[in-house]
Homo-oligomer: A and B are copies of this chain.
Amino acid sequence: MKLLEKVIAEKGEIIGNDIVKVDMFLNHQIDIHLLQEIGKEFRRLFTEDINKIVTIEASGIGVACIAAQYFDVPVVFAKKGNHRNVGNDIYSGEVFSFTKGITTKIGISKRYLTKDDKILIIDDFLANGGAVKGLIGIAEQAGAAVQGIGIVIEKGFQPGGNELRKAGYHLESLAIINSIENGRITFG
């Protein structure tokens, strides 16, 4: 998605050779117009039968909600941590974050994901794929069908994306960063 690559190149803040901070438009401050274009692009790319968008808190929620308008479906977001007031009535998984070096529990109530659901997983970033794999695990527990995976920015030099494609998932990343060298980003 050319518009997205342009915004990343112009506004993204490069740190070393593997981090691009995009908190000025995607995951701290949020450019709603850009999210609308992202939502429309996901709608164009995923023609599968989809009745629900599934994401994970926190920064996936904005993208998922704006995109859901174009699919005309509800959003369900996985919660992080131990949620006593969700009770034991949840499907749960674990997500290891290489960035933070920690494992986080995630969960979705059994009420909001069932074998009848045909879901599109949406998230803002894909690197090693921990969050998406955690959501796939939860979908498997529920018997829900993962119809597609929509990612805003994929780090192509990390393995998550290719592992998911090899596993047969319809994965679409709107921008794929192939490398960051000497302060320059190359897109795939």
Interface residues of chain A, those whose CB is within 8 Å of chain B, are: 21, 23-24, 28-32, 35-36, 57-59, 61-62, 64-66, 68-69, 72-77, 79-80, 85-86, 99, 108-109, 111-112
Contacts and interface: CB of A to CB of B under 8 A. Distances in A.
A76 B74 CA distance: 23
Contacts of A35: 65
A7 B61 CA distance: 22
A76 B28 contact: yes
Contacts of A64: 62
List 9 tightest A-B contacts by C-beta distance, closest first: A57-B58, A58-B58, A62-B65, A30-B75, A61-B61, A29-B112, A32-B68, A29-B76, A61-B62
Given A57-B58, A77-B58, A79-B58, A65 B24 contact: no
A32 B57 CA distance: 16
A74 B112 contact: no
Contacts of A24: 111-112
B79 A32 contact: no
19 contacts: A28-B76, A28-B108, A29-B109, A29-B112, A30-B65, A30-B74, A31-B74, A32-B68, A32-B73, A36-B69, A57-B58, A58-B61, A58-B80, A61-B61, A61-B62, A61-B65, A62-B77, A66-B69, A85-B99
Given A29-B75, A59-B61, 19 more contacts: A23-B86, A23-B109, A28-B108, A28-B109, A28-B112, A30-B76, A30-B77, A32-B69, A32-B72, A32-B73, A32-B75, A57-B59, A58-B58, A58-B77, A61-B62, A62-B62, A62-B65, A66-B66, A66-B69
